[in-house]
Structure 1
């Protein structure tokens, strides 16, 4: 019988240990490198991307000496870590200075009190979640274009703190309501006041941006409508769609919302999709016009029949209907059998299947001036969404990537005030993403290389489907530090978040820290 030599056994053990170390060593390093500090500034995230423009004073402060990328992050840069509390050495204007005129009195004043409680929807169903002034959705806030809106938020009992973000409203940065970026989360017993001029007429909404993937679903949201300065001729209907525990509601009501509309009357239905995926909306009983997208009027909207409108997550679509002269009802379908039924003598308008065709905003309407030339862009960025295995704050999984990088090693898009900016958004992740840039509206230039030919398609929430590529453009005319993230909010919490940062602007706030800021 052959005996194992002691030396040979030791060699095998050493080889096995070396093999184990070769496998586990990189994994341990990746795990360790992914851990986030207890508090960090978003200004210290990832690497600076100047989009081919000048490198400003912020460049020397990029985390870990991150290299500047001039073409949207094409060159690799890895290992950048947030160091926390770095805002103090950046200098420049703090986001708290970017406010509406402090001496101007408010035209619209609202107080909302947030609570964690069991409440009843308008339909009567009980739900455990969050309320604003004892209800969810919260009160509809209404203003006229040009008015200064002041909203006092009081947190009575929401654990973990809250904020209010004004989705689609290009507010001053201090009023953007993002915990850890523009303010601290408002803890129980505390309050915060938001002030902004409603300078764009349109349909908007508001929601918490503290643990938003939990708090928005739980009911911390509401509609904001800004009417034009001229008298609005059409009847106005808000249709905010939200799921409570999987139950689809319109303005908190299960089933149909019945609205009286006289024969021949024009009615504008302001559709707000607060959910995480695209929602089709279509009309039966009369033609309709798509008169606004994301709070911007459509140029030359033509009558539409037998086509649905795809409303992105977080997006809005204003549908205008002229009621039939014979008094028959009209149904606006909102992603399913429930919807808005307009009528006078009858609301008997049964659901009809979704049309096979979908209206294409790329070609709908008539051309109109943009007010700037996208061909003369000062900055050009790439925002390429992907997915790969790795660690996110020490947790293994298959996570979203931006330009091939896992959060927080993601681009910080640097701009200067007045820049014309072009951004190419590509989705190679295998799942659709509704992309939302705070503080700005962008115009869609191309989709998959096909140029827009209809009305300027202005968006703040853009559904980027699997394999799609969009080119958008905007003018950097609202200084601040702005989130640019997926509005499927669980995706944002899983790392699909970047920021747009203006030269000369800093933030004192940190993610984490004593305030427990958790923007997603």
Structure 2
């Protein structure tokens, strides 16, 4: 009897803490993103009351222009269906207007863009997030934060001004780890008023088959020798891709929709983070060039010319030193808010499921920091990673400038990003201006990582959202 009591006591001593950890890990079936975790004011003034107060302005009111004729008008119909890649292989996934990638949207700086998303047959709903375009918060397309997921048979209209030239993309932010992987995305180019000959190359992997613009293997576009071409490369996958042009020197002229200062000719590879974009400027030589994306390539050459088949160099472009420096336009020496974003990993439960989960500042989702700011704040953030894996970190609604990496200051071009690859054991210091009020996701763009808890928000004081995760709309942004 005594031995049984001892055994029971030992079992309770082990199981009781586990039961507590299990119970406290459960995520409510319905909750507001603004009620997550705990407020981190970054050393700035805290508003009165809890950070999830529901006064002030609403996300639903932070909209793009609602009057005036749009310059770019498009309807995108989302479907779940089998489709054929441009190279002929069959995929069972999602399409926009019957294809994946979806249509390339082109606008010019100053245009008013109006896109209507119609959900014909995507179960569980869909949205459109304008990745890298700093749209008003209500146009950001995050289910449960800035809108409800569009159900089958429903539609949603997005309107925003195309203020910043650059290379961008759009994708669903409802169950994004699955819907983006299976094809619910496309590209968007906002051009300067001075026309430039360009070509968009969207990298995406369908069922372990890497493609450029939906084509596996080697494909080509005929381009006359002497043509000056801007090659806009978009990484829509979940991991970094080493890319670049083989066959001629080129310049890296833009990253994440922001022009670089003083770009110089290079032949080195470029490490393109998941979700990020890079623009190459090249003059096509007589022998052509080849865009390499690791397992697939795109020849850009005169007709009947095969460009060099050499592999990418082992050296890579380092934007910490590439180009020439310039004033940032931000007083980064005296920020209004200073945050830490420490990425780690530890075992435990997440929503009752045991595993090895990502942490932010030592906390598992949803008990993660809510980074609180006020409009006009200069924000400095230190992102460090000791998780054992690399993470492409994406902040919605803003672009940040890289100040340093591992303590080494940036001395090259101002390096503005919306998606930053933070490798294991790396630390980046970034800064940005809080000039776009709302509730903004700040997450890993290896989308399965986001779905596993590597996700939090940047929240402006006084802003609330009427939308909820879960609920009748079954909102599930990751």
Is TM-score (shorter-chain normalized) higher than 0.5? yes
Partner residue of 2:402? 444
CA distance in 2, matches of 1:354, 1:27: 50
Pick aligned residue for 1:289 from 237, 240, 251:
251
Partner residue of 1:81? none
Pick aligned residue for 1:119 from 66, 80, 83:
83
CA distance in 2, matches of 1:38, 1:53: 33
CA distance in 1, matches of 2:412, 2:182: 38
Partner residue of 1:302? 264
What TM-score results when the alignment is normalised by the length of structure 2? Answer: 0.98
- Structure 1 stretches of 4+ moved >3 Å: none
Contact 1:333 1:351 in 2 (8 A): no
Contact 1:387 1:400 in 2 (8 A): yes
CA distance in 2, matches of 1:237, 1:39: 43
Partner residue of 2:38? 47
Contact 1:328 1:346 in 2 (8 A): no
Pick aligned residue for 1:232 from 195, 207, 216:
195
Q: Deviations over 1:435-476 (max 9, x none)?
A: 000000000000000000000000001000010000000000
Matches within 5 A, 1:201-350: 201-229=165-193, 231-233=194-196, 235-305=197-267, 307-324=268-285, 327-336=286-295, 338-350=296-308
Gapped runs of 5+ residues in structure 1?
Answer: 1-8, 63-86
Q: Deviations over 1:358-385 (max 9, x none)?
A: 1100100111221111111000000000
CA distance in 2, matches of 1:315, 1:112: 23
Contact 1:330 1:349 in 2 (8 A): yes
Matches within 5 A, 1:53-452: 53-57=44-48, 60-62=49-51, 90-229=54-193, 231-233=194-196, 235-305=197-267, 307-324=268-285, 327-336=286-295, 338-452=296-410
CA distance in 1, matches of 2:195, 2:327: 24
Contact 2:288 2:302 in 1 (8 A): yes
CA distance in 2, matches of 1:100, 1:315: 24
Pick aligned residue for 2:11 from 20, 25, 39:
20
Contact 1:258 1:347 in 2 (8 A): no
Partner residue of 1:500? 458
Q: Deviations over 1:473-498 (max 9, x none)?
A: 00000000000000000000000001
Report how far residue 269 of structure 1 moved.
0.6
Report how far residue 263 of structure 1 moved.
1.8
Q: Deviations over 1:294-349 (max 9, x none)?
A: 000010100002x100000000010111122xx2111111123x222111133312
Residue 188 of structure 1 aligns to a residue whose secondary structure is coil
Q: Deviations over 1:215-246 (max 9, x none)?
A: 001100000000012x124x210000101101
CA distance in 2, matches of 1:331, 1:507: 47
Pick aligned residue for 2:29 from 35, 38, 53:
38
Contact 2:225 2:288 in 1 (8 A): no
CA distance in 2, matches of 1:177, 1:284: 37
Report how far residue 61 of structure 1 moved.
2.4
Contact 2:287 2:308 in 1 (8 A): no
CA distance in 2, matches of 1:480, 1:401: 24
Aligned length: 478
CA distance in 2, matches of 1:281, 1:137: 19
CA distance in 1, matches of 2:408, 2:86: 44
Q: Deviations over 1:389-415 (max 9, x none)?
A: 111000010100000000000000000
CA distance in 1, matches of 2:199, 2:237: 19
Residue 367 of structure 1 aligns to a residue whose secondary structure is coil
What TM-score results when the alignment is normalised by the length of structure 1? Answer: 0.91
Residue 406 of structure 1 aligns to a residue whose secondary structure is coil
CA distance in 1, matches of 2:466, 2:111: 29
Report how far residue 101 of structure 1 moved.
2.1
Q: Pairwise CA RMSD of aligned residues?
A: 1.0
CA distance in 2, matches of 1:360, 1:291: 13
Report how far residue 350 of structure 1 moved.
4.4
